Amino acid sequence: MSPKALIGVPADRRIVDPHPFQMVGEKYLDALIRGSDALPLMVPLMPEDVDVDELLGRFDGIFLTGSYSNIEPHHYNGEPSDEGTLHDPHRDAVTLPLARRALETGVPLFAVCRGFQELNVALGGTLHQKVHEVPGYHNHLENKEDPLDIQYGPSHTVNLADGGLLRELAGSDQVMVNSLHAQGVARLADGVSIEAVADDGLIEAFRVDGAPGFALAVQWHPEWRAMENEFSTAIFKAFGDACRVRARQRQV
């Protein structure tokens, strides 16, 4: 039996009573293990000690998770964040160059929520820091007082682009997704194609044009109970398939 493809998953860096911890949500690992049939390994956010090219030489894919933190706005020339906004500069320092190099070297890349925003910023795009305060857009935030099943439950439809990967995987032109984000795309980066748009016009997914490997970003959370959702399962399987192709190439 061939060894499973290795997928690098950058952590979050959080302070917990009062020590810094490197953390990855179990729901992401579960989706990658079961949905992508791969072995996810945490990438520590220690930018002075982690070499991006060395990482990419060891991994068959990169997965950028969601997070409670937001990208520091200076990375996209945005206005300073409101006081109390949670940031993770260690993550920014690893994921932004990691995403760019993954695309350049053909390492499959799948990004969700914060990862979706990271990929847009890494490629030169910008963000709305509070989508719900931008005229014309709905509130895309979850109610944190709701049970998790409600927070991560279906929230709104997205329209899938004709000829896109997601439309092919869904087998339809529209699907329901969950919604747990304050930030969103303001200006989409150049060199990408829209894969999905919310019912209010907000961009919810894109792929990177001309990337030599799988390169997809979605704003929602397909990892949540991924194996209970045919569309989510199909996305993670497609990512896993791309990682296995990379693994075979790397082993030659």
What is the per-residue pLDDT for 1?
Answer: 65
Calpha distance 52→168 (Å, rounded): 32
* Tokens, residue 78: 């945005």
CA distances to 142, 191, 222 from 180, in Å: 5, 26, 11
Contact 232, 223 (CB under 8 A): yes
| From 90, 140, 181, 221, active-site residue | 221
Is 132 in the active site? no
What is the per-residue pLDDT for 126?
Answer: 98
What is the per-residue pLDDT for 124?
Answer: 98
Is 221 in the active site? yes
* Tokens, residue 47: 């930018």
| From 90, 113, 140, 195, active-site residue | 113
Calpha distance 48→62 (Å, rounded): 19
Query: Which stretches within 59-177 are classed as H helix?
Result: 89-105, 114-122, 148-151, 165-170
The separation between the first and the last C-alpha atoms of the chain, rounded to the nearest angstrom, is 16
What is the per-residue pLDDT for 251?
Answer: 79
Residue among 26, 67, 27 nearest 45 (CA): 67
What is the per-residue pLDDT for 25?
Answer: 97
What is the per-residue pLDDT for 173?
Answer: 98
How much is the CA Rg of the chain, to the nearest whole Å?
17
Is 74 in the active site? no
User: Which parts of the chain have pLDDT scores under 70?
Assistant: 1
What is the per-residue pLDDT for 3?
Answer: 84
| From 72, 118, 223, 243, active-site residue | 223
pTM score of the predicted model: 0.97
Determine the angle formed by the axes of helices 114-122 and 89-105, rounding to 10 degrees.
Answer: 60
Residue 184 half-sphere exposure toward CB, CA atoms < 13 A: 24
